[in-house]
Structure 1
Amino acid sequence: MIRRLLTVLPVVLVLGACAAPGTTPQTWPGPPSVSPVPGLVSPTVLPTCPPSGVRMRFTDGDAAMGLRVVGLTLTNCGARDYRVSGYPVLRPLDADRAVLDVTVLPGVTEISSGLEQLDFPDREVVLAPGQAASAVVAWRNTYDDTTHGPVNVDSVSVSPQEGRPFQTVTPDHPFDLGSTGRLGVTRWEADSTSPSS
């Protein structure tokens, strides 16, 4: 490529020198200048709000002595108030999105007596647009049954409460239930900026 340019360059210089006296050699126009169109701004891409008007996700958890605890957050991404109460409905799924044989307990005291302060009383939470509520999911990573392989929950189909639409929520790391075959979940609790009734 460089050799070819060196061959063509002298020819261009000679042709430019042969232009008629008093005339200006023709030059190629440069690239057209592009001016921004007034009022045209690149839109910010936001996560899509599901038709239910709420978005759920798992938050960072904690692990100690085989006890696992993660948060589940429900955010009202719709345009009107959203009311929720009681326990989320969880359907643990494997890597192929098949429902696992896992027992979901209402509350987390059976998982560990040290979590009893998380078993909040039942109350309705009213979320204005942009506000959120939280629940806690807990389990133990104990493996003492060698007749079955350990159970890993890769994602969870979650409904905010009985009778409402499900959405699949994937944690950063699978839930490693070992051979316990169960996990517990608390009731929804309003975040500090969300009122409850």
Structure 2
Amino acid sequence: MIATRRKRIRPAALASLLALTLSGCGLSAELDRERNPAREPTPAATRTRAAQPSAPAVSETSPALPAGPKASPAVPVQQDRGCPLSGLRVGTGPVDAAMGLRAMTITLTNCGKKPYELKGYPSVRVLGPQGDPIPGVRTVEGTDQVAMAPEDPGPEALTLGPGESARAGLYWRMAAEDGTYLRVAPAAGRSTTTVRLPDPLDIGPENILGTTAWAPAT
């Protein structure tokens, strides 16, 4: 009688085990439920979840991220507020582009209290992202050496009263390297002002920057 009962129970046990296997739980999952019927997280599982941040982060074993662009150097540039000690403020316009020719306007404003005498061409140097002059870039008076640049009207004597401005044009041909700053003087030998450009000059090394003479700004 006992042997018969055992034979009847074994098929039922096999059927239960098969049902657990097909349901995806498996024997190990069933044993886990028996050991932890409340399904409380184990300490190891708690540590694993705590180690997963809500947003991507770099751990000590993560590969190094590629370095970002270098911070701009401490180039002394013209401040936006107030009037410089020279009494002159330098501004730049956007870069215009057409068929490889680039053009930009620079403006000189008398923000002081005395008239300022002006004649001739601006003195300009193009600086790279680190504040160093781009090698080989030559600034010339006039536009004859820049292909397709408009004709320079030539110099005239100006007197800028307080609040008045003059402008000059810069022309160059497109190249691979960008200029980030301009170091500008009203004329050679006068005090300079360094301005950061809103639009870089893609002038590149061994290139020519042509300038027009100062003219009244309308």
TM > 0.5? yes
**Whose helix fraction is larger, Structure 1's or Structure 2's?**
2
Provide the rounded CA distance (Å) in 2 between the counterparts of 1:62 and 1:53.
29
Superposed, 1:39-54 pairs within 5 Å as 47-54=81-88
1:86 corresponds in structure 2 to 120
> Is 1:120–2:146 an aligned residue pair?
no
Provide the rounded CA distance (Å) in 1 between the counterparts of 2:209 and 2:201.
9
- 2:101–2:149 CA contact under 8 A, matched in 1: no
Residue among 189, 192, 198 paired with 1:172: 198
> Is 1:140–2:166 an aligned residue pair?
no
Residue among 142, 147, 150 paired with 1:107: 142
Once the 2 structures are TM-superposed, how far is the Cα of residue 124 of structure 1 from its aligned partner?
1.1
- Runs (4 or more) in structure 1 with deviation over 6 Å come to none
- TM-score, normalising length from structure 1? 0.66
**Whose strand fraction is larger, Structure 1's or Structure 2's?**
1
Once the 2 structures are TM-superposed, how far is the Cα of residue 179 of structure 1 from its aligned partner?
5.4
Report the number of matched residues.
138
Provide the rounded CA distance (Å) in 1 between the counterparts of 2:102 and 2:195.
17
Once the 2 structures are TM-superposed, how far is the Cα of residue 186 of structure 1 from its aligned partner?
0.9
1:158 corresponds in structure 2 to 184
Once the 2 structures are TM-superposed, how far is the Cα of residue 166 of structure 1 from its aligned partner?
0.4
Query: Taking structure 1 as reference, are residues 165 and 178 closer, same or farther at Cα in structure 2, changes over 3 Å only?
Result: closer
- TM-score, normalising length from structure 2? 0.60
Provide the rounded CA distance (Å) in 2 between the counterparts of 1:115 and 1:48.
35
Once the 2 structures are TM-superposed, how far is the Cα of residue 113 of structure 1 from its aligned partner?
4.0
The structure that has the greater radius of gyration is: 2
Gaps of 5+ in 2: 1-79
1:38 corresponds in structure 2 to none
Once the 2 structures are TM-superposed, how far is the Cα of residue 182 of structure 1 from its aligned partner?
1.8
SS at structure 2 position matched to 1:171: strand
Superimposed CA distance per residue, residues 98-130 of structure 1 (whole angstroms, 9 cap, x where no aligned partner): 1222111111222134511xx122211111100
- 1:76–1:82 CA contact under 8 A, matched in 2: yes
Provide the rounded CA distance (Å) in 1 between the counterparts of 2:199 and 2:154.
29
1:64 corresponds in structure 2 to 98
